[in-house]
Amino acid sequence: MNLLESLYLTPSQRQVLEKNLETNLRREFRRRIHIMLLADAGESQAQICKKLGCSQEAARYWIFMLKTGKFDKWNDSPIGRPKVVNEEYLQRLKELVNNSPREYGYAFERWTAQCLNKHLANELGISFSNYHITRLLKSMGLSTRSNNKSEA
């Protein structure tokens, strides 16, 4: 890596990133910094991916962050998929599917994954694909097809 020429960072900005590498960081954070330092030194996305073993998406994202002056955000973004399916969500999903949608002001008689998803998104601010809702129900031994309450 050629430290003499920097494409996007000032010497002090580069020094801050390099200093962070000396601390005990999670592997993912180290990789983010390395991506930006390599891009700043003129390495291509393909070269960075090969050298670090990272995905093209990760390299592209952190190169973009570098180019837009957001190099200092390397530790702001969460790592991996957020774990938003919590106990509250699962309990509420179970409660909804075990009751008629009419009890919640809907005109239809049976829940669908789409309706459950929309309702929970409005109520808890969490949305998933309809397929994921179906998988969650199945993992709890529930289904939108089985309705304990028979309605005429």
Amino acid 88: pLDDT: 86
Assess whether 69 and 108 both reside in one domain: no
Q: Is residue 80 part of a domain?
A: no
- Contact assessment for residue 109 and residue 102, using Cβ atoms and an 8 Å cutoff: yes
Instruction: Please give the model's pTM, rounded to 2 decimal places.
Output: 0.52
Question: Nearest 10 degrees: CA dihedral of 104, 108, 113, 119?
Answer: -30
Query: Where a domain ends, among 46, 73, 100?
Result: 73
Q: Is residue 150 part of a domain?
A: no
Least confident range of 20-29, 41-50, 108-117, 121-130 = 121-130
Q: Is residue 5 part of a domain?
A: no
Tell me how many domains the chain contains: 2
Q: Which residue has the tokens 């929970």?
A: 120
Whether the predicted pLDDT of 129 surpasses 90: no
The pLDDT tens digits for 87-128 are 888 999 999 999 999 999 999 999 999 999 999 888 888 888
Assess whether 61 and 115 both reside in one domain: no
Amino acid 19: pLDDT: 93
Whether the predicted pLDDT of 147 surpasses 60: no
Look at residue 119 and give its three-state secondary structure: helix
The pLDDT tens digits for 69-93 are 999 988 876 666 555 678 888 999 9
Assess whether 54 and 96 both reside in one domain: no
Whether the predicted pLDDT of 2 surpasses 90: no
CA dist 129 and 142 (Å) reads: 17
Whether the predicted pLDDT of 1 surpasses 50: no
Q: Is residue 18 part of a domain?
A: yes
User: 31 to each of 13, 66, 139, how far by Cα in Å?
Assistant: 17, 13, 35
Range of the domain at 119: 87-139
Give residue 12's pLDDT band: very low, low, confident or very high (50, 70, 90). Answer: very high
Assess whether 68 and 99 both reside in one domain: no
